[in-house]
Structure 1
Amino acid sequence: MQQSSVYTLASGPVSLPVAGQNLRQPRVVAGSKSLASMLPTILTTGLVSLVATAVLRLMWMGWGHDFVGAWMEAWLTVWPIAFPAAYISKPLINKLSRRLSKPVATDHALGASAIMQVSEQATARSGLRRKPSLLPVHR
């Protein structure tokens, strides 16, 4: 195992990594893992509720002297409700998303080659001949 070099500075010993050594990056969000897992939901619900309340307040009240105050009141009322609802439902939404995005079984797929094959079979059974195409057929 490679050792890193240690140098002493006025502030204390400093360890320099050796080339190729795997370095751990410090976490951007310090603290608990739960805060790091909540951060995307906090930011997303904050932004969505901010925009939604602005649009609805603008539609309901119009642009007046009290628009910003009423908007902030609505946003600060909606966001604390939206965040826990989104965070608690996140596992269910992820599971539903995975289930909905599963690939469909391709046993009965209607691809271009399958359609052309059936068309050729039907043409042959009916005793008709296929006209030569001016466009190249890609199979």
Structure 2
Amino acid sequence: MFGAVAIALLGGAVVGMSRSINGRLTMTKGPFVASVWNHAIGFLLLTVYIVFVHRLGLPLLGQTPAFFFFGGVIGAFFVAISSHVFPRLGAARSGLLIIGAQMITGLLIDYLRGTAEFHIGQPAGVALIIVGIYLTRFSR
């Protein structure tokens, strides 16, 4: 479990660094150009990994249900949005808003799928997230 937690923390740090770099690119080229570069380079690196390390190619593409490609659309939308807001709101404020929305959405998805059991800490946690978003938005 410690390994998974460490990887998740590393993932969060990498997302923060990526958003900061894309934010700088956004300031000169715009959020959609930053998103295209982000996805083009990511696509190339992951393609090399899949083809050469896992020795998979187009058969993998044919075995994937079409619905799962929607995740890529959502990912591209996320990169474009975060590239737009990071230089305008700053890394800390943008990160809090994005993570707060992710936590609230994740909780809603768990409830809609029936995979979460209700306990009193959940609404309290959501309330704290909303208070944090409010304080971030209105504090200077």
The structure number with the bigger radius of gyration is 1
Kindly indicate whether structure 1 or structure 2 has the higher relative contact order, using CA contacts under 8 Å at least 6 residues apart. Answer: 2
TM-score when normalising by structure 1 = 0.28
Larger helix proportion, structure 1 or 2? 2
Larger strand proportion, structure 1 or 2? 1
